[in-house]
A and B are shown apart, each in its own frame.
Chain A
Amino acid sequence: MKQLMLGNKAVARGLFEGGCSFVSSYPGTPSTEITEEAVAFDEIYCEWAPNEKVAMEAAFGASLAGKRSFCGMKHVGLNVAADPLFTMSYTGVNAGIIIGVADDPGMHSSQNEQDSRHYAVAAKVPMLEPADSAEALEFTKLAYELSEKFDTPVLMKMCTRIAHSRSVCQTSERVVPEVKAYEKNIGKYVMMPGNAKKRHPVIEERTKALREWAETSDINRIEWGGKEVGIITSSTSYQYVKEVFGEKVSVLKLGMVNPLPEKLIKDFAGKVDRLIVVEELDPVIENHCKVLGLKVEGKDILPVCGEFSQKLIAEKIGGEVHERKSLDEEIPVRPPIMCAGCPHRGIFYTLSKNKCVVLGDIGCYTLGAVAPLSAMDMTLCMGASVSGVHGFNKAMEGNTDYKTVGVLGDSTFMHSGMTGLADIAYNESDSTVIILDNSITGMTGHQQNPTTGYNIKGDPAGKIDLEALCKAMGIKRVTVVDPYDLKECDRILKEELAAPEPSVIIARRPCALLKFVKHNTPLTVNADKCTGCSACMKIGCPAISMKDGKSHVDRTLCVGCDVCKQMCAFDAFEREEKEG
């Protein structure tokens, strides 16, 4: 049946049809839906792992056990999982392994714009790159065949525009290969120097064999058109090229971006007058062409930064640019913000009020950096808040001018905050870490994690007790606070900052968007009491604005968290009677 399918769902469908039995992933935009959609298939065991490294190693274990497996992550997640990746390249697989990695050119929801293709080159593993949902489905199935035929994990590279666009797919039946019996093979799977030395040349030969395969595979195809310009491209860039030029140019469309073919590219280059590589981010294909001694254009005319579009291609290479309308008006920007009733707000207001140096982390709460709270000094990567505050405090050598805290979420703490806390406990810095426990992984769209007590299907699961865990790690001062209670937040923060030993504050309240969270009736402002002092504006709640010199609450947004009420010295916020 033909249906419109999200790119990520098409990968999940490909996993199902391709006989995948095991999925372990860590959520990260734009990769998350692959795993969320795979859960719909009862034939596939799915789980959220605490981080990407764990997910990849679990997938490796499942492959050893003889089942086709998958792990999914965003581009920066592959940094975390790079360790197993590089050596899995040496061991190869028993049953097929696919590693789904989603890049985010344009940084719609990411802290950097790294190009995952470098990992494929560096780890010497093949990488497939689909250009729409139909290819995402087909390439996923093909990836398992390649994985087993060439004895290698296969990287499946998505990008935001392929992962998060729906296009037409044709589905078919699931085909499960026979389970590959587990066989002990120390020389292949135990990577100590003596064995790894023997495996390395095998990997070099494998790359040669894969390159041969790439020369003739139909996933690398030439679409002949005008021969004045020949464009080598892949992924969403292919779509922009076809959109702008149609049949006017010839296109070599690559479905496999590592290893890259040589003969195919040289033949194509020889038949066109002008050779251009159109690829987002880094010049990976272009550099390959240059190594082959070809005269090629690429990053000399197209940008390294940001994502492409049809307009950009038309402007840079020559095509029709459309006329557009405009309004002579300043349009204020609308950046993302913490939701009304977000439990993080109370903590960031308290940190801002106490002029703390805030070492931040990755999650919804990174929005604590946005005005008017502006309560963040650093955000680097998952877990860096904890290790960062430790290093900052050690280097300050007891200088008390800076009130420092590390702030991260429950899921991020499980991901890689724990190891930083071990550093604090072991090397004894007087650091305060605030764990924002909103009972969910928020930013990526509500995924369960080891602290929530539920698994990926929403069924009850093992639950890690954060208080007990921190104490077991050697932190004696562990306090829990309700982030809606501003007075208590302030008192506890001051107390823990003053304490001459490591401490953890757990700010606990579920995300206001969770379905089971019951909301209070919205507040209203009593205009007679409101003096227009705008003290309530300091918390940066999207439900509150100033209208005609008085505060105003947007009833469609307010969830009645009462944080604004605690800001008001004139008792102007009142609760409406519950409607019938």
Chain B
Amino acid sequence: MDTKNIMIVGVGGQGSLLASKLLGNLFLSEGHDVKVSEVHGMSQRGGSVVTYVRYGDKVYSPVIDEGEADFIVSFEILEAARWLKYLKPDGHIVTSIQSIDPMPVITGAAKYPENLPDKLKAAGVNVDAMDCLALAKEAGSVKAVNVVLIGRLSHYFDIPEEEWIKVIKDTVPEKFVEMNIKAFELGRNFKE
């Protein structure tokens, strides 16, 4: 199979590491070659961060370039728009509608664009824009936003739901398994 590309984007500190770990472990257990590329260090301090997940028969580059992503999973709506140029023309964005003002917006040097989900749709982009914070709260913790997003992403794959659940069980600490499975289901069954 051709290499498939998933980008996980957000603001430093939002917890994209668990999402990439879950996906990496899942695709490895499905028998694929996998590469996951992360960001550590300075940009983690509230900056724009990106994680690349790639899988297929043989994966070479650890990164995803412009026009190559099959999916962009975004923790924050401005970040979904920022990384749009990395999406394939027929790619899909799964995003939280949460907005976090970057410093230039806070200081008044720039404006936070309005109605981004609508603008993305108007530009012909396939977008699932979800209130992930609310769904995560419903599941039991605002920290479960990552698994809500993964839940929605799972809906686009031919991998049985049990496999996703299994990898969640294997990856998160036992006391959080139930909450995370609930978050996964809420994301997976999301309807606009």
Contact = CB atoms under 8 A, between A and B. Distances in A.
Real complex partners, A and B? yes
Interface of A: 2-4, 6, 29-30, 32-33, 108-109, 132, 161-162, 164-168, 236, 239-240, 242-243, 309-311, 321-339, 364, 367, 370-372, 443-445, 537, 540, 542, 544-546, 554, 556
26 contacts: A164-B38, A165-B37, A165-B38, A166-B37, A242-B61, A310-B61, A310-B63, A322-B65, A325-B85, A327-B120, A329-B113, A329-B116, A330-B110, A330-B111, A331-B78, A332-B78, A332-B110, A334-B47, A334-B82, A336-B12, A336-B46, A364-B45, A371-B104, A443-B41, A537-B107, A540-B106
A239 B103 CA distance: 36
A242 B61 CA distance: 8
A367 B12 CA distance: 14
B112 to A, nearest CB: 7
B51 to A, nearest CB: 10
B142 A546 contact: no
B106 to A, nearest CB: 5
A2 B37 contact: no
A242 B106 contact: no
A337 B13 CA distance: 11
A132 B36 CA distance: 11
B131 interface: no
B81 interface: yes
Contacts of B28: 2-4, 168
A484 B49 CA distance: 29
B155 interface: no
Contacts of B166: none
A540 B103 contact: yes
B67 A336 contact: no
A243 B60 contact: yes
Contacts of A372: 107
A108 B24 contact: no
Interface string B71-96: 00000001101101111110000000
B34 A4 contact: yes
Contacts of B102: 332-335
A533 to B, nearest CB: 13
Contacts of A371: 103-104, 107, 109
B81 A327 contact: yes
Interface in B155-170: none
B161 to A, nearest CB: 22
B62 A339 contact: no
Given A165-B38, A330-B113, A545-B106, 13 more contacts: A4-B28, A29-B42, A109-B41, A162-B62, A165-B37, A165-B52, A321-B67, A323-B67, A325-B87, A325-B123, A335-B47, A335-B104, A542-B100
Nearest to B53: A166
A542 B106 contact: yes
Give the top 3 A-B pairs by smallest Cβ distance, nearest first. Answer: A322-B67, A109-B41, A29-B41
Contacts of B178: none
A309 B42 contact: no
Contact of A167 (B11, B34, B120): B34
A537 B78 contact: no
A364 B13 CA distance: 14
A229 B124 CA distance: 39
A325 B101 CA distance: 24
A331 to B, nearest CB: 5
A29 B13 CA distance: 17
Contacts of A443: 41-42, 45
Given A109-B41, A166-B24, A322-B67, A329 B81 contact: yes
B64 to A, nearest CB: 9
Contact of A542 (B46, B65, B112): B46
Contacts of B189: none
B12 to A, nearest CB: 7
B125 interface: yes
B101 to A, nearest CB: 5
B46 A161 contact: no
Given A108-B43, A327-B123, A556-B142, A545 B105 contact: yes
A33 B17 CA distance: 15
B182 interface: no
B105 A332 contact: yes
A30 B62 CA distance: 15
A443 B41 CA distance: 6
Contacts of B34: 4, 166-168
Contacts of A370: 103
Given A311-B65, A338-B45, A164 B105 contact: no
B175 to A, nearest CB: 17
B62 A236 contact: yes
Nearest to A161: B62
A392 to B, nearest CB: 26
Given A243-B60, A334-B47, A309 B65 contact: yes
Given A4-B34, A324-B66, A537-B107, A109 B60 contact: no
B25 A327 contact: no
Given A322-B68, A331-B81, A537-B106, A337 B46 contact: yes
B40 A167 contact: no
B42 A108 contact: yes
Contacts of B173: none
A554 B65 CA distance: 33
Contacts of B88: 322
B188 interface: no
